[in-house]
Amino acid sequence: MLQVARIRGGHVLRGSLRAAGSKNASLPLLAASLLTGETVTLRNVPDLSDVRYMAEILGHQGAIVTNPEPGVWTICASTITHRTPYDLVRKMRASVCLLGSLIGRLRHAEMAIPGGCVIGPRPIDLHLKGLEAMGCVVNVEAGLVQVDASRARGDTVFMGGPMGSTVLGTANIVMAATLTPGITRIECAAREPEVVDLCEMLIKMGALIRGHGTNVIEVEGVTTLHGCDHTVIADRIEAGTYLVAGAITGGDVTVTHCNPAHLTAFLDKLREAGVSVETGPDFIRAFGRPTHAVAIVTEPYPGFPTDLQAQFMALQLLVDGRSTVTEKIYPARFMHAAELQRMGAEIAIDGPTAAIYGDRPLSGAPVMASDLRASAALILAALIAKGETWVQRLYHLDRGYERFEERLRGLGADIERLPASELPKGFAED
Ligand code: EPU
């Protein structure tokens, strides 16, 4: 059943909440569980549609997957198939990270190539170039990529592309290299905390990896990996989203069980915007309203994350003057801007840069979520809009936020999830 969110703006958000486990760490970790025939137990896994879908794909590959209690998944991949058809890949682009684990485990893989998505083209050329540099034979035909790694050997692999490093591309090469003879040296490797978490779990499984967290990762191939028990890191993007929710309403929100070091660039910009920020070893508190226009530029980690750009834009709507967002990861990731304009925002897009002229009156409107982070941004803007906002296509939100409206309500927001049939007369239902 299609659902929508109805938000009534004007409430100040206060309180504290616990960060969920990271979606973008969980997906490659689930994929990595195929590298062993023994049982892998993952804890602190968020309850999200993307996670459930990845579990379904693992099941299709032949693994026995269970979810014995909330947040815990076990995967036992004693026998698996090397084929992943388009039907499974097309719904979730992140399924591409199965490639590395299938190659590592089975020495060959056949996977449908995922398409682009609304945030922009999402090629996998760097993944494939990296595999070729390791001596894999890669064949792309009829929408399928076939990889034969029977003669692969560790070598130097350069993972830099026009936008810098690639997160899932690095994850794929690391996973493939764990069970490939010789030393694979990945240059221009992604430094994202989610890649570090993957390497940490692989090390628990018996992999020999050094340099993760820097832009050169070295993996020394071993012959076999074993099971492990691993707790997923906190979701830095989810944490950042709730901190914006507090700040945008001039409230006071603390996110616990997270790692402030994973959000340095974002917190720096929050402070520059005039929001007060306090951090402890595992919590972040943001309070007070933004007062200054700021310019943000999205970059690979440790730069400002593209996955918090839309939410930060919602915050920039409050501030008098001209703020900017420059997208250096997905230059066309501005679908949310057009919807924010329907609420009264003044935003001008010029190539990869959006200029936000803030302090305009915002009013509730029916708006359409275009992707995961855009949906969060629209809800955040709705918190400060006059009247009712109806956010449609809520399934995007459910891909990456666990019980979002319930958690916002816990902080004092007036937000309800309703069946799409409740949309006021005249609003489109799709
Ligand atoms: N790129 C290439 N060639 C490649 C791979 C990437 O040109 O072979 C380009 C992309 O088109 C993009 C840039 O490099 O312009 C970075 O893409 P990257 O490969 O790093 O993205 P990803 O690994 O596919 C992950 C997250 C995304 C997040 C990006 C960037 C997961 C499951 N997804 O995607 O998360 O935006 O890194 O940080 O980890 C989200 O959670 O909303 C989301 C989209």
| Selected catalytic residue, list 76, 97, 117, 199 | 117
Q: Exposed, middle or buried, 311 (CB in 10 Å: 0-12/13-18/19+)?
A: buried
Distance 176 CA to ligand 1 centre (A): 19
Q: What is the pLDDT of residue 117?
A: 73
| 8 A C-beta contact, residue 322 and residue 357 | yes
Give the pLDDT means over successive 10-residue stretches in the chain (430 positions): 94 98 98 98 97 96 98 98 88 92 97 80 92 97 94 98 96 98 98 98 98 98 98 98 98 98 98 98 97 98 98 98 98 96 97 97 95 97 97 94 98 96 76
Q: What is the pLDDT of residue 428?
A: 66
Question: Which atom of ligand 1 is nearest to 24's Cα?
Answer: 39
Distance 418 CA to ligand 1 centre (A): 32
Distance 422 CA to ligand 1 centre (A): 36
Please compute, for residue 30, the number of CA atoms within 13 A of its CA located in the half-sphere on the CB side.
32
Nearest to 385 by CA among 6, 5, 123, 8: 8
Q: What is the pLDDT of residue 367?
A: 96
Q: Give me the long-range contacts of 404-411 (CB less than 8 A, separation at least 24).
A: 404/376, 404/379, 405/5, 405/379, 407/17, 407/242, 408/13, 408/242, 408/245, 408/379, 408/383, 410/15, 410/17, 411/13, 411/14, 411/15, 411/17, 411/242, 411/245, 411/246, 411/251, 411/253
What does pTM read for this prediction? Answer: 0.97
Q: What is the pLDDT of residue 155?
A: 98
Verify whether residue 117 is a known catalytic residue: yes
Residue 192 tokens, joined = 């994202």
Go through the domains of the chain in sequence order and give each one's CATH number: 3-19+234-422 (3.65.10.10), 23-231 (3.65.10.10)
Helix axes 98-106, 125-133, angle to 10 degrees: 20
Q: What is the pLDDT of residue 91?
A: 86
Alpha-carbon distance values, 108 to 111, 138, 151 (Å): 10, 10, 10
Pocket of ligand 1, beta carbon within 6 A: 24, 27, 94, 121-127, 161-163, 166-169, 194, 306-307, 329-330, 372-373, 400
Cis peptide bond N-terminal to 302, omega within 30: yes
Supply the residue whose CA is at minimum distance from atom 20 of ligand 1.
166
